[in-house]
Structure 1
Amino acid sequence: MPLAVSLIAPSSFTAPEAIDAGLRGLEALGVEVRLETPLQAPQRYLAGSRAYRLDQLHAAFGDPETQAVWAVRGGYGAAQLIDGIDWRRLARSNKPLIGYSDVTVLLDHCHRHGVPAIHGPVAKAAAGMLEGSDDERRIVRQQFEETLALIAGPTVLDYPIAPWAEAPTTLEGPVVGGNLATLASLVGTPAGFRAPPGSLVILEDVGEPYYRLERALWQLMHGGALDRAAAVCLGTFEGCRPYGDTPLEAIVAETLAPLGLPLYTGLPSGHGLHNRPWRYGASGRIADGRLSVGG
């Protein structure tokens, strides 16, 4: 019996042709995709009104014939849904929400409410299995196959990681985090991100100049979001413009210095070609240049 997933559009509007390409990619993996028609009822730059997107999310989690709920893309809009979600209803379904970027806020709140969540490629990215070079198609396919394995059951995946300057060779804790700009935008709101005690916080972003990344990190840190974290792990920062010769890692390390948080780099997680999935909130262990995350 093929794996079936419910597709949702909780954030920005997605071009129909991009959705179609993503569907072809998922179907090439043998995934049965279910979606409401129409998937989108555009309002401004959003995929639909708040009520429309909430109804779609609840319907997707309520479908007894699918094993996961997959966001078609990020963008903006997911935070608007938080206080309207029936979390007990979602928890009863016991199926994961998959996505990243703007969907970070939903992943974090899923974890808080006992709903499984996977930080991984959005559905439209499955088009990458059918286009580009052979190597690019192979990389994207591996990431989607890993995501399907996480949907299927407990799976341990490991990822390359490197300490920046002085950092413990071994650390353990729950793995959380996601898009830096999205998390920073929630500081001071009821939806604000707070790293659990001893957590390994993954951060990534796209298209932001370094000064904006520093500003977002400063906001997160001084808003108390990282007070109980054990470490920060940097994913990819695709298309983020540097300032002079100062590496981003040095800026992050300097900003985090008052908290004494160790910094690790090199995780293949973010908006670039390399965006491997990880189970949000699962136990993680850093050792021997690898981060292992339990399913």
Structure 2
Amino acid sequence: MPFAVSLIAPSSFTAPEAVADGIRGLEALGVTVRVAEPLHAPRRYLAGSRAHRLAQLHAAFDDPETRAVWAVRGGYGAAQLIDGIDWPRLARRAKPLIGYSDVTVLLDHCHRHGLPAIHGPVAKAAGGLLSGADAERAVVRRQFEETLALIQGPTSLDYPLTPYADAPASLEGPVVGGNLATLASLVGTPAAFVAPPGALVILEDVGEPYYRLERALWQLVHGGALERAGAVCLGTFEGCAPYGDSSLEAIVAETLAPLGVPLFSGLPVGHGLHNRPWRYGATGRIECGRLSIAG
């Protein structure tokens, strides 16, 4: 059934042509896109001042005609908004916030405040429905169709997953996490990420050499973010330069060793072509090489 969404820019500035392509892609799927004007009031690399981005976020949640609030992109800036958000105001018209990367921090805090959130493709990625190879467009379409299904109601999805070393055959817990660099940047701040007991923590990143990934994970581990985690599940690490013959899985396993947290990899989640959506905080179950997440 057709419905409307509100587009917001809580982080970095996005080129107008990329926004336009994303809107056309969503409209091709039958979605009505409502955009506050101006979407951008550029300030350095940000989409606007903190006040501009906060006003846009609140207005998007206030809109009674939309079913979800969709971030146009990540980048940097979402963490600046946390202490200025009127959470009771957002709860009056609770609707899922959608995005990933820098938007990870907003997804986590929506979940903490009892609001729905979906870790999934940003709105500008819908431009991939309009051009490129047929196979790539099919991947993008599936991901957006799954995201639209999650907006409309309970939908269970499952994803391939590979255990590392002696990881247990089955586990269950809330699914949280997101971009590794973003989560690491929050350690020691009031917005710091802390995995709930038994959580299945998904991590992904882009463009970071392995030593930076190890540094970010070390910061999470020794900052106490993963002390109660049930497992770490690696998504994609697009464009992350390896070091010698060291595998990322081996580096992560070594860093997690003091906590005894099991490791899995191979999730089609993150930057790049493969970024399937999942409902933040929903119950996930790992079994038989699959991660199933309840709607």
Name the TM tier (shorter chain).
over 0.9
Unmatched 5+ stretches in structure 1: none
Q: Return the alpha-carbon distance in structure 2 between the equivalents of residues 33 and 98 of structure 1.
A: 14
Aligned to 2:36: 36
Q: Deviations over 1:105-134 (max 9, x none)?
A: 000000000110000000000011111100
Structure 1 residue 88: Cα displacement: 1.1
Distance 1:168 1:177 in 2: 20
Shift of 1:272: 1.2
3-state SS of paired residue (2:24)? helix
Structure 1 CA distance for aligned equivalents of residues 75 and 213 of structure 2: 17
Return 5+ residue gaps in structure 2 as ranges.
Answer: none
TM-superposition CA deviations, 1:191-212 (whole Å, max 9, x none): 0000000100000000000000
CA distance, structure 2, for counterparts of residue 12 and residue 289 of structure 1: 36
Distance in 1 (alpha carbons) for counterparts of 2:29 and 2:209: 36
Q: Which amino acid aligns with 2:210?
A: Y
Please state how far the C-alpha of 1:153 moved relative to its aligned partner.
0.3
Provide the residue aligned with 1:224 in structure 2.
224
Helix, strand or coil at the partner of 2:184: helix
Q: Residue 186 of structure 2 aligns with which residue?
A: 186
Question: Structure 1 residue 198 and structure 2 residue 186: aligned?
Answer: no
In structure 2, what is the equivalent of residue 250 of structure 1? 250
Q: What secondary structure sits across from 1:18 in the alignment? A: helix
Aligned partners of 1:116 and 1:91: how far apart in 2?
10
Matched residue, 1:117: 117
The farther-off stretch of 111-120 and 85-94 is 85-94
% identical equivalent positions: 82
CA drift at 1:57? 0.1
Aligned residue runs from structure 1 range 74-153, under 5 A = 74-153=74-153
| Residue 2 in structure 1 maps to residue 2 in structure 2 | yes
Give the secondary-structure state (helix, strand or coil) at the position aligned to 1:272.
Answer: coil
Q: For 2:172 and 2:258, how far apart are their aligned partners in 1?
A: 21
| Match in the other structure for 1:22 | 22
Give 1:92 deviation, angstroms.
Answer: 2.0
Cα deviation per residue 1:150-203 (whole Å; 9 max; x = unaligned)?
000011000000101111100000000000000000000000000000100000
Partner of 1:292: 292
Name the CA distance, whole Å, in 1 between partners of 2:44 and 2:88.
30
CA distance in 2, matches of 1:132, 1:172: 38
Shift of 1:67: 0.2
Q: What is the alpha-carbon distance in structure 2 between the residues aligned to residue 237 and residue 141 of structure 1? A: 21
SS at match of 2:159: strand
1:259-278 alignment, distance < 5 Å: 259-278=259-278
2-structure distance, mates of 1:114, 1:240 = 34
Deviates more, 1:86-95 or 1:55-64: 86-95
Report the Cα distance in structure 1 between the residues aligned to 2:171 and 2:162, rounded to whole angstroms: 12
Mapped partners of 1:262, 1:91: distance in 2: 35
Distance in 2 separating the partners of 1:186 and 1:213: 15
CA deviations over 1:213-247 (Å, ceiling 9, x no partner): 00000000000000010000000000000000110
- Residue in 2 that maps onto 1:170: 170
Please report how far the alpha carbon of residue 10 of structure 1 lies from its aligned counterpart in structure 2 after TM superposition. 0.2
Following superposition, the deviation at residue 84 of structure 1 comes to 0.2
**Inter-partner Cα distance in structure 2 for 1:200 and 1:237:** 18
Matching residue's letter, 1:23: I
Superposition TM-score, scaled by structure 1 size: 0.99
* Counterpart residue number, 1:73: 73
**Which position in structure 1 is the counterpart of 2:158?**
158
Paired positions, count:
295
Q: Displacement, 1:90?
A: 1.1
Task: Tell me if 1:207 matches 2:190.
Answer: no
Distance apart, 1:94 and its partner CA: 1.8
Please give the alpha-carbon distance, in whole angstroms, between the structure 2 residues aligned to 1:230 and 1:272. 27
Instruction: Detail structure 1 runs of 4+ shifted over 3 Å in the superposition.
Output: none
The DSSP-based 3-state class of the residue aligned with 2:81 is helix
